[in-house]
Chain A
Amino acid sequence: MRLVDIRPRRGARLVLGALPIFALLIVYLVASEARHLDNPADKLLPTFSAMADAIRAFTTDRDPNTDRILIVGDTLASLYRLGIGLAIATVTALVLGLLLGVMPLARAILGPTIAVVAVIPPVAVLPILFILLGLDEASKIALIAIGIAPFMTRDLTNFVAGLPAEQFTKAQTLGANSWQLAIRVALPQLMPRLIDALRLSMGPAWVFLITAEAVAADVGLGYRIFLVRRYFAMDIILPYVAWISLLAIAADALLLFLSRRGFPWAHGAGR
């Protein structure tokens, strides 16, 4: 049997997929153990018990400023910024993508501007945002929105413009006007793609969030890990990074669930 023809079954896939993760954990354990034998005060690769202590601390201690449990306050602050930023970007991309995709005229007018805005590295405009909007929430939210909206807009525009021309012709022969074409033919088919674009944008969105929080914030997941970096507190940083990854995975799973639930026709099967 050829190597390329070996297809593991579901159970085998789970086991095989878990193997590298276990291997990494064991490598970490061994390396951490070795360093602690050498220097019991090592901070670079903290032991799991040290991390457990740190986790206990930041899930029970309260932030003196907000009087919230540390990780709860950080998570709420970060998710608030991320949520508003994503919402602004999503609505902008939906409206512009639909308009530009359906109307070649709008594409001719706005397309080049969006293409130019899309190539500006968002973090490079962060100083401008700080100057214009101040160091509060607005600048962080703006960075996320500005960072991902152009990409999403271009993706959705191309998607709508790429829908088979036959569909639009057919709709016109069924009496649809431009508005009806947009909301009954283009918009529903755009929705699952919008969720896809949002899922792809989540990665960059987290990058922009943590960047903004690292530069200027007094609460937030990114703020915390950059704060404790000064004390080489790897025992806090590593669980925080794991928590951020977990949040990202959960958000992705939620979006996929919404897409499957809301738009069964886009996922092959029917209801």
Chain B
Amino acid sequence: MTALLELRNIWVEYGDKIVLERLSLELAERSFVAVVGPSGAGKSTFLRLVLGQEAPTRGQLLLDGKVMRAECGPDRGVVFQRYSVFPHLTALGNVMFGMECAQAPFTARLFGAQRRAARETAIEMLAAVGLEHNLDVYPAQMSGGMQQRLAIAQALVKHPRILLLDEPFGALDPGIRLDMHALITRLWAEHGLTIVMVTHDIGEAFKLGTRVLAFDKRRHDPHAPHRFGATVTYDLPLDRKTATLPDAPATDLSHGDPA
């Protein structure tokens, strides 16, 4: 497998506060990478790096072998825990937004045949996430789970090289969360996605991921906690996992190689 995304000796510093240090990683295409770690261990910073919202202080990010610019673009889709969808657009409007931006640079609106084609694509995408009966509904009228389904459909319609999920199911009921796990696993397999998911839920990470990255600080100075940054402390490939039967975390730990 080729490395889709490569991080080469990344450091992120804010002033004299070091957030990430010596981070080197290769993410394979079609992998489902789950990122766990305590609060303040740089999970969100890592996500913003990959998203392009933030540039590393030192080091390089390579996407498909090319140096990635620190800028958000359609090759990296994202679903946040909240506020991922536009409240002023219907479900259909939310999904069509990405296509409208690409095809109509000035008006960002489509007309006639182009609009019908975009509408068809959007409806297909909404059907894939189970929202085919809610095309004209505004996000405010949707449940949290439906809003996240919509956010996923909205991102997938752009066929991103990497889909980033920032605690996407953290605000959902346990039952709904299980449904969403099934949905994202199915979409991942069907669309051949590469997913990076940040989560607080370790069970979720091991259930969904083909690889679990644990972020933490390797060194700690109690008098100057900001002087050491976090990095990947455990990198656990879950290659033996089948789609239906997630391994117990304990088994995986024995096969993982603590970096």
Contact = CB atoms under 8 A, between A and B. Distances in A.
Interface of A: 164, 166-167, 169-177, 179-180, 183-185, 188-189, 263-266, 268-271
Given A169-B53, A174-B74, A180-B101, A185 B86 contact: yes
Contacts of A189: 86-88
Interface in B43-93: 51, 53, 71-74, 76-78, 80, 82-89
Nearest to A263: B88
Interface of B: 51, 53, 71-74, 76-78, 80, 82-89, 97-98, 100-102, 105-106, 108, 136-141, 151, 154-155, 158, 160
A172 to B, nearest CB: 4
Given A173-B155, A265-B88, A184 B137 contact: no
Given A164-B82, A189-B87, A265-B87, 10 more contacts: A170-B83, A170-B85, A170-B151, A171-B97, A172-B73, A173-B76, A174-B155, A175-B73, A176-B108, A189-B86
Nearest to A191: B88
Contacts of A166: 80, 82-84
Nearest to B158: A174
Contacts of A184: 97, 100-101, 108
B140 to A, nearest CB: 6
Main secondary structure of the interface of A (DSSP, over half): helix
Contacts, number: 93
B51 A169 contact: yes
A270 B84 contact: no
A173 B106 CA distance: 18
B140 A268 contact: yes
6 contacts: A170-B78, A173-B74, A175-B73, A180-B108, A184-B100, A189-B87
A38 B257 CA distance: 103
Contacts of B78: 169-170, 173
Contacts of A169: 51, 53, 72, 78, 80
A263 B102 CA distance: 26
Contact of A170 (B71, B84, B136, B139): B84
Contact of B102 (A167, A175, A268): A175
A264 B72 contact: no
Contacts of A180: 101, 105, 108
